[in-house]
Amino acid sequence: MSHRLSLHVIVLFVVVAAAGLVSGSSLAARAQTAGDICRYDVVPDGVINAADTQAVAAAFRTPAYDFDGDGTTDLDDVMAVGSAWGQQCVYTPVSTTELRQEAEAAAEVVGPMIRVTGNPDASACGYVETPLGGPAEGYVRFGVQIPSSGTYYVWGRYRAQGSSADSFRIQVDSGPLQIWRLGQQPWLWRPAESSPYGTAYTYQLTAGLHTITISTYEAGAALDAIEVTSNPFASPSWKNGCSSGNPTPTATPGPIATAGRLNVDNQYSFWGDWAMQVGYYWCEDPDTRTNCKPPSYIYDQAIATGYDFMSLADDTINMSPAMWQDLATAADTATNQHPGTFVGVRGYEYTGNSPYYNTEGHLMTWGLANYPIDLRSALRDYYPWLAAQPPSVIAAFNHPSRLGDVDWELSDFEYHPEVDERVELTQLNPAGTSGGVLSTPLERILSAGWHVGAGGWSPQRNQLIPGNRVYGVMMSHLTRNDLLAALKARRTFALDPTREGALALVFRAEGGSWMGSSVEAGSTFDFEVRWNDNKNRPLARLELVGADACNAATGAVLRSQNTSGASGVWSGSVTNSSPWYFVRAYDSNNVLVGWTSPIWSHRQFATVAGASTLPAATWARIESSNPGTRFSDWISFKGDGSNAVLMRFSVPSGVQVKTALLKLTTAARSNTTDDMNIGLYPLSRSWNASEVSWLNATSSQTWA
């Protein structure tokens, strides 16, 4: 047998003193009774008081009259009326809804309207427009999840390029197509209305998903963002900074509920599900799509059953722009309605398509600002695309496994250093858990060179939400930014469903380096493990696992510790013999109930031959059957050990290699049924590539 291988606005009102006229009809039209002026923060200072009632009263007085009796009709009269109204008010604020979306991240943008990015004057540095001079066509469509039935208003942040480039059309659901005239302004918030500072349109909306379509009426008008609100006196002024992913919700986080959470240096344990696929709609029967519920239903169920966070996603087979936007809306709504107690995040799964669907594997992706391009072909397309994404984007191996004829092991976990800093996590349900072997072991993925953190095993589309808080994250506060940062840092642990939402595991190296990080370890690796089960169920055994040179799929147990505590600390030291370490936890029934993200003792990227960091290898094949000959046609091995391949890499001056990865890919084989082990050995003697043979290292020096 042989193997041949290759190296391969505040529009409150406007007062015009001349002629004693007050122009504020848009505001006045929204205040139907005097009682309305006692309920809203019209002057957006965070306080509902007489200043707000004066603003409304000013809008109502058209024309003004000599209320104060000084012989003139002027601003003093308007303010006097406002003061009188304010004194009669009992201030009883009402709860209002504000739903915000970026235009460039909308569900659909149809040409000739285009997305424009990189403009710092725009919210999130992006907007949509039909370019000036082009046809007055194209539209942008939003999906909005309305929490409760009522009267709503639509505001937009816009930019006009002239009197003939300042108008859109707006349509809500299948309602009338209305002209939205804005006026010539650079980046200003205005409500949808028939004329500048005219009467605002109102929309009676029921709870649930609605669509808002804004189409071009005059080319050159740009739309930056929208806000859908139930506040008749709203005056948005927000502008997001440039970032990726879901817009950060504006709700202020509340205090952390620390009860039952493991606290290590003010980093607290939180539990949730980070890779839940919903098939867009959660269905009792996902094949026939019957008895389906929207993403908001899943978030409601997760919140009701104690989840701290959840990501909902769908795959490239099912995803559409409308689904993409609906997932974001549902995530933002759930997060904003539960500040400091729940975070929702939108995700996306690279799935591939026939013939790759069952032969390569799937990857989850989070933090994308825009709808992902169609990536249904192969990993060779997905990885370069992923490498070009912003550093904030996070990816994860999704249900990596090989079961029957389904191979989801991502081309044998072929290592791609260009995306190593994007692929941060992996789903796991390895041998020893209560559910049996469902996934590839973490050890194999780490031995392939990937630097991934631990994640749990998410349920299928028709499984119930309770009982799957198997992703554990350590962070200081429960916000979307904190969550994404902790996941990016791999400060995670994973759980068997028997310990969901209860067990917390923390693994750190000497000096306080957290799981997920790399350390400059010396001859020993010093570590500490902390754990706590808030249901007071003890652990029975903890194991420190490292690499096994003989079996990459299982790793080696380097140290173990028996325990009977539901909480505790274990510290120790081992000879630094592995490039990575992680911890496993077992219960008294020998069930694997938890495992941590690794710590890398030395971390090095992009050291594969042929990459930009090292020149290609110098190599030669030598054979015992041709002892005096050196071969350079191909790298070849034989099962009987009768040939060998020598390799040498030139390391640039000043570069210290700490970790190296050699990857050989089979190009041909003469025996397709038997396995062959290939060993890697260091050479203690230098050799000349043009003179080497089975007998000699150089023309004048034998190997003996």
The three-point CA angle 104-109-112 to 5° equals 115
Q: Within a 10 A sphere around the Cβ of 280, how many other Cβ atoms?
A: 23
Average pLDDT for 362-373? 80
Asked, for residue 607, whether it belongs to a domain, the answer is no
Confidence at residue 30, expressed as pLDDT on a 0 to 100 scale = 41
Alpha helices (H) in 248-372, listed in sequence order: 295-304, 321-337
Residues 137 and 53 in one domain: no
Q: Of the residues 38, 55, 88, which one is the last residue of a structural domain? A: 88
Residue predicted with more confidence, 428 or 290: 428
Counting Cα atoms < 13 Å in the Cβ hemisphere of 542 gives: 26
Average pLDDT for 684-701? 84
Average pLDDT for 213-224? 91
3-state secondary structure of 200: strand
- The pairing of beta strand 309-313 with beta strand 267-277: parallel
Residues 480 and 550 in one domain: yes
Q: Of the residues 572, 600, 628, which one is the last residue of a structural domain? A: 600
Find, among 257, 423, 261, the residue nearest to 341 by Cα. Answer: 257
Tell me the one-letter amino acid at 499: R
Alpha helices (H) in 478-553, listed in sequence order: 480-488
3-state secondary structure of 498: helix
Number of H helices, E strands in the chain: 9, 45
The total number of structural domains that make up the chain: 4
Distances from the Cα of 449 to the Cα of 413, 416, 420, 547, 575, angstroms: 9, 9, 9, 11, 21
Pair 307, 273: CB distance under 8 Å: yes
Q: Report the alpha-carbon distance of residue 2 to residue 686 in Å, rounded.
A: 27
Residues 297 and 215 in one domain: no
Tell me the one-letter amino acid at 684: S
Average pLDDT for 147-157? 92
Alpha helices (H) in 617-667, listed in sequence order: none
Edge-to-edge strands of the sheet including 513-514? 513-514, 503-509, 524-533, 567-575
Q: Within a 10 A sphere around the Cβ of 560, how many other Cβ atoms?
A: 14
Per-residue pLDDT tens over the stretch 72-128: 655 555 555 555 544 455 555 566 778 899 998 876 788 888 888 777 788 888 888
Residues 420 and 471 in one domain: yes
Residues 105 and 81 in one domain: no
Alpha helices (H) in 562-695, listed in sequence order: none
Annotate 289-322 with DSSP letters as a single string: TEEEE-HHHHHHHHHHTT-SEEEEE-BTTT--HH
Look up the CATH number of the domain holding residue 379.
Answer: 3.20.20.140
Alpha helices (H) in 368-418, listed in sequence order: 379-387, 410-413
Residues 592 and 635 in one domain: no
Residues 446 and 338 in one domain: yes
Q: Of the residues 209, 229, 249, which one is the last residue of a structural domain? A: 229
Residues 179 and 43 in one domain: no
pLDDT band at 259 (very low <50, low <70, confident <90, very high): confident
Confidence at residue 359, expressed as pLDDT on a 0 to 100 scale = 58
Asked, for residue 256, whether it belongs to a domain, the answer is no
Asked, for residue 253, whether it belongs to a domain, the answer is no
Average pLDDT for 256-276? 86
Confidence at residue 160, expressed as pLDDT on a 0 to 100 scale = 85
Which residue range forms the structural domain that includes residue 326? 263-600
Asked, for residue 58, whether it belongs to a domain, the answer is yes
Pair 237, 44: CB distance under 8 Å: yes
Q: Report the alpha-carbon distance of residue 463 to residue 471 in Å, rounded.
A: 17
Q: Report the alpha-carbon distance of residue 580 to residue 513 in Å, rounded.
A: 13
Q: Report the alpha-carbon distance of residue 399 to residue 164 in Å, rounded.
A: 54
Confidence at residue 387, expressed as pLDDT on a 0 to 100 scale = 85
Counting Cα atoms < 13 Å in the Cβ hemisphere of 362 gives: 23
Asked, for residue 65, whether it belongs to a domain, the answer is yes
Asked, for residue 3, whether it belongs to a domain, the answer is no
Asked, for residue 251, whether it belongs to a domain, the answer is no
Look up the CATH number of the domain holding residue 152.
Answer: 2.60.120.260
Residues 352 and 426 in one domain: yes
pLDDT higher than 70, residue 233 = yes
3-state secondary structure of 464: coil
pLDDT higher than 70, residue 302 = yes
Distances from the Cα of 188 to the Cα of 11, 98, 158, 196, angstroms: 10, 18, 6, 12
Residue 518 DSSP one-character state: B
Residues 165 and 308 in one domain: no
Distances from the Cα of 668 to the Cα of 118, 535, 608, 674, angstroms: 49, 55, 22, 14
Pair 268, 476: CB distance under 8 Å: yes
Residues 556 and 460 in one domain: yes
Residues 583 and 443 in one domain: yes
pLDDT higher than 90, residue 506 = yes
Counting Cα atoms < 13 Å in the Cβ hemisphere of 148 gives: 6
Asked, for residue 518, whether it belongs to a domain, the answer is yes
Average pLDDT for 263-269? 93
Q: For the chain, give the longest Cα–Cα distance.
A: 120
